[in-house]
Amino acid sequence: MNTRIDRLTPMRLVTALIACALIGACSSDDGVREDAVSAIISNPDRFEGKVVTVRGFVNLAQNESALYLHVDDYRWAIQTNGIWLHMPHCVNRAGQAVTQGYMTVIGNFTAKLHGHADSWIGEIDNIKACRLIEGVADDARPRALLP
């Protein structure tokens, strides 16, 4: 048995690993393409009018329904790290309404509208799905309790 490895084998292995990583980064386990919130925030015109799938910390409240990169962005009211959401509620696996937590949201993005008080980089409306990401500790505290 010949155990000699030809010179192209390492290159083929590296190419296969890169391809697997790229495919995994572009879609979730259910086959839906996921867009990074940071990519939308940094280049909103690229996503204009497109259906996006994003994950982040969601706070649903009157005059402030938004998806943030991280709970700390909500906690410190960093609206430049968020996207306004046109949705009244989201549900967990048991079908109960939730108003805060890390969630996956699917809807249409527009950079032409900027949410309540024109404070956001854009909006997601026509929400097709909203799912609470179960088991993720959000560690959120109301802003009133901040130092």
Mean pLDDT to the nearest integer, 103-113 = 90
Q: Where are the domains of the chain?
A: 31-137
109-139 pLDDT, tens digit per residue, is: 998 876 666 677 889 999 898 888 877 665 5
**Integer angstrom CA distances of residue 130 from 12, 19, 51, 70, 145:** 40, 29, 13, 17, 28
Ordered DSSP codes for 38-90: HHHHH-GGGGTT-EEEEEEEEE--TT--EEESSHHHHHTT-GGGEEEE--S-E
Counting every residue written for the chain, the total comes to 147
Give the pLDDT of residue 90: 81
CATH-assigned architecture of domain 31-137: Beta Barrel (2.40)
Residue 39 is encoded by which pair of tokens?
A: 């990519």
